[in-house]
Protein backbone atom coordinates (compact mmCIF):
# COMPACT_ATOMS: atom_id res chain seq x y z
CA UNK A 1 0.00 0.00 0.00
CA UNK A 2 1.42 3.36 -0.99
CA UNK A 3 1.14 6.44 1.15
CA UNK A 4 -0.89 9.26 -0.34
CA UNK A 5 0.73 12.67 -0.46
CA UNK A 6 -1.26 15.52 1.06
CA UNK A 7 -2.90 17.65 -1.64
CA UNK A 8 -1.92 20.86 0.11
CA UNK A 9 1.72 19.75 0.11
CA UNK A 10 1.55 18.88 -3.58
CA UNK A 11 0.30 22.36 -4.39
CA UNK A 12 2.74 23.94 -1.94
CA UNK A 13 0.07 25.91 -0.06
CA UNK A 14 -1.14 26.11 3.53
CA UNK A 15 -4.40 24.46 4.58
CA UNK A 16 -5.81 27.93 5.23
CA UNK A 17 -5.05 29.15 1.69
CA UNK A 18 -7.87 30.85 -0.18
CA UNK A 19 -9.09 29.82 -3.65
CA UNK A 20 -6.99 32.41 -5.47
CA UNK A 21 -3.79 31.22 -3.79
CA UNK A 22 -4.54 27.59 -4.62
CA UNK A 23 -5.29 28.45 -8.24
CA UNK A 24 -2.13 30.54 -8.58
CA UNK A 25 0.05 27.80 -7.11
CA UNK A 26 -1.56 25.17 -9.35
CA UNK A 27 -0.93 27.21 -12.49
CA UNK A 28 2.69 27.83 -11.55
CA UNK A 29 3.34 24.15 -10.84
CA UNK A 30 1.39 22.96 -13.88
CA UNK A 31 3.54 25.11 -16.14
CA UNK A 32 6.71 23.76 -14.51
CA UNK A 33 5.76 20.07 -14.77
CA UNK A 34 3.63 20.04 -17.94
CA UNK A 35 4.54 17.08 -20.19
CA UNK A 36 4.95 19.36 -23.21
CA UNK A 37 7.67 21.33 -21.40
CA UNK A 38 9.39 18.13 -20.23
CA UNK A 39 9.06 15.63 -23.09
CA UNK A 40 10.03 12.09 -22.22
CA UNK A 41 10.28 12.74 -18.49
CA UNK A 42 8.06 10.27 -16.67
CA UNK A 43 8.60 11.94 -13.31
CA UNK A 44 7.29 15.27 -14.58
CA UNK A 45 4.26 13.62 -16.13
CA UNK A 46 3.43 11.79 -12.90
CA UNK A 47 3.90 14.98 -10.89
CA UNK A 48 1.66 16.90 -13.32
CA UNK A 49 -1.09 14.30 -12.95
CA UNK A 50 -0.84 14.40 -9.16
CA UNK A 51 -0.96 18.21 -9.14
CA UNK A 52 -4.00 18.19 -11.44
CA UNK A 53 -5.78 15.67 -9.22
CA UNK A 54 -5.03 17.75 -6.12
CA UNK A 55 -6.32 20.94 -7.74
CA UNK A 56 -9.45 19.16 -8.97
CA UNK A 57 -10.22 18.23 -5.37
CA UNK A 58 -9.35 21.54 -3.74
CA UNK A 59 -10.99 23.89 -6.25
CA UNK A 60 -14.52 22.71 -5.41
CA UNK A 61 -15.75 23.83 -1.97
CA UNK A 62 -17.67 20.60 -1.27
CA UNK A 63 -14.79 18.34 -2.30
CA UNK A 64 -12.34 20.46 -0.30
CA UNK A 65 -14.52 20.24 2.82
CA UNK A 66 -14.75 16.46 2.44
CA UNK A 67 -10.98 16.20 1.94
CA UNK A 68 -10.30 18.39 4.97
CA UNK A 69 -12.56 16.22 7.10
CA UNK A 70 -11.73 12.70 5.84
CA UNK A 71 -8.56 13.02 3.77
CA UNK A 72 -8.05 10.71 0.81
CA UNK A 73 -10.63 8.24 2.15
CA UNK A 74 -13.38 10.69 1.16
CA UNK A 75 -12.85 9.78 -2.50
CA UNK A 76 -12.40 6.02 -2.32
> Could you tell me which of 11, 10, 6 has the C-alpha nearest to residue 22?
11
pLDDT digits (tens, 9 = 90+) for 26-72: 999 999 999 888 888 888 999 999 999 999 999 999 999 999 999 88
Kindly list the distances between the CA atom of residue 59 and the CA atoms of 14, 33, 37, 47, 74, in Å, as whole numbers in the listed order: 14, 19, 24, 18, 15
| pLDDT at residue 3 in the model | 59
Compare 21 and 39 and report the one with higher pLDDT. Answer: 21
Amino acid sequence: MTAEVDYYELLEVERTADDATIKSSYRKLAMRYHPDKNPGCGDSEARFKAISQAYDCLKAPQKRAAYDRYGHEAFQ
